[in-house]
Amino acid sequence: MAITLSAALRREYDQLFDTCRVRPERRDDVEWVVDKLAANRSRYAAVTERRGVPWAFVALVHQMESGCDFASHLHNGDPLDARTVRVPAGRPRGGSPPFSWEESAADAMALKRLSSSTDWSLAGMLYQLERYNGWGYRKYHPEVLSPYLWSFSEHYTAGKYVADGRWSDTAVSRQCGAAVVLRRMAENGLVDFIDRPGATPDTDTADEPRTQEPLVSRHAMRRAAQAAEAQRAEELQRWLNTFPGIFLRADGIPGDRTSDAFRRVTGSYLPGDPRIA
């Protein structure tokens, strides 16, 4: 049965992404991956120029499939000094070896029929990431969300394929999921989604239900020692996350990113922000 990006699947992806929280013990691991991908953004953007595929998608596939190895074909890990030998063999078909990583990666995207005309909404990107890895989890083990997307988050605990067609209920993925990295990239302002434009004070949200605006926190670059103050900052961050294009970690630290988001929604920085004239 073919898996299509239905309205129900879109809602599932959106809901999972919006509620994605990194497991505390894995936060440093996620940050390390995000920093590594951001450091190579220009190389991924070169693939975007060739194929129109968002740089973040290229980066995530590169991380998941080869651990960001720039010395091998993205298709299958074969060396770049020749066309691929393993499946898919004979790629890239055009050009002459040795190939640049960017040239090979663009061909890998073309082989998957990914281009600027692909649906690159948030749900569309998550769909393509899951498709890239395969639909085995969704088809045969729907009780487990694919660790290819959700490992290191609270959405995933255990269960994975340990070899082709070989399943283990107890095995735990030790690789950070692509959607988890993507969520953190969004929180860091590294990626935007075409269906999640940034909120502005003029954004018409009259038809969208909102929870009551929480009490405003004062700008601070560290979590308050008082539990009530920290909780108020978390509630503010969760409220801001209900607006389009805003992705904040609800960590109770009302710093610059929270103040920026507050300004996008209300037109003003948080009280105490040094940027207030």
Q: Residue 69's pLDDT is what?
A: 96
CA distance 237 to 247: 9
State the first-to-last Cα distance of the chain, in angstroms, to the nearest integer.
59
CA distance 50 to 53: 8
Is residue 151 located within the same domain as residue 242?
Answer: no
The residue out of 151, 178, 205 marking a domain boundary is 178
CA distance 69 to 44: 12
In a domain, 95, yes or no: yes
Is residue 52 located within the same domain as residue 125?
Answer: yes
Is residue 172 located within the same domain as residue 201?
Answer: no
Each residue's pLDDT expressed in tens, for the chain with a length of 277 residues = 789 999 999 999 999 998 999 999 999 999 999 999 999 999 999 999 999 999 999 999 999 999 999 999 999 999 999 999 999 999 999 999 999 999 999 999 999 999 999 999 999 999 999 999 999 999 999 999 999 999 999 999 999 999 988 999 999 999 999 999 999 999 988 998 988 765 555 544 444 555 566 788 899 999 999 988 998 899 899 888 888 889 999 899 999 999 998 988 888 899 899 998 7
Query: For helices 41-51 and 55-66, what crossing angle results, to 10°?
Result: 120
Q: Residue 211's pLDDT is what?
A: 57
Is residue 170 located within the same domain as residue 245?
Answer: no
Q: Residue 213's pLDDT is what?
A: 67
- Specify the pTM: 0.81
In a domain, 273, yes or no: no
Contact 145, 155 (CB under 8 A): yes
Pure H helices in 52-175 = 55-66, 101-111, 122-133, 136-140, 147-150
Q: For residue 198, which of 233, 255, 241 has the smallest C-alpha distance?
A: 241
In a domain, 106, yes or no: yes
Q: Residue 214's pLDDT is what?
A: 74
In a domain, 275, yes or no: no
- In three-state secondary structure terms, 259 is helix
Q: Residue 8's pLDDT is what?
A: 95
Query: How many folded domains does the chain comprise?
Result: 2
H-helix or E-strand spanning residue 160: strand 160-163
Is residue 119 located within the same domain as residue 54?
Answer: yes
Is residue 108 located within the same domain as residue 220?
Answer: no
In a domain, 189, yes or no: no
Look up the domain containing 214 and give its range.
197-266
- Chain centroid to CA 210: 25
The residue out of 129, 151, 178 marking a domain boundary is 178
The residue out of 146, 178, 210 marking a domain boundary is 178
Is residue 145 located within the same domain as residue 210?
Answer: no
Assign residue 242 a region: left if phi > 0, alpha if psi is -120 to 50, beta otherwise?
Answer: alpha
In a domain, 218, yes or no: yes
Is residue 69 located within the same domain as residue 168?
Answer: yes
Structure tokens at 156: 């995933």
Assign residue 252 a region: left if phi > 0, alpha if psi is -120 to 50, beta otherwise?
Answer: left
Is residue 22 located within the same domain as residue 134?
Answer: yes
Q: Residue 205's pLDDT is what?
A: 46
- In three-state secondary structure terms, 275 is coil
In a domain, 272, yes or no: no
Is residue 153 located within the same domain as residue 18?
Answer: yes
Q: Residue 201's pLDDT is what?
A: 54
Is residue 95 located within the same domain as residue 223?
Answer: no
In a domain, 60, yes or no: yes
Is residue 109 located within the same domain as residue 50?
Answer: yes
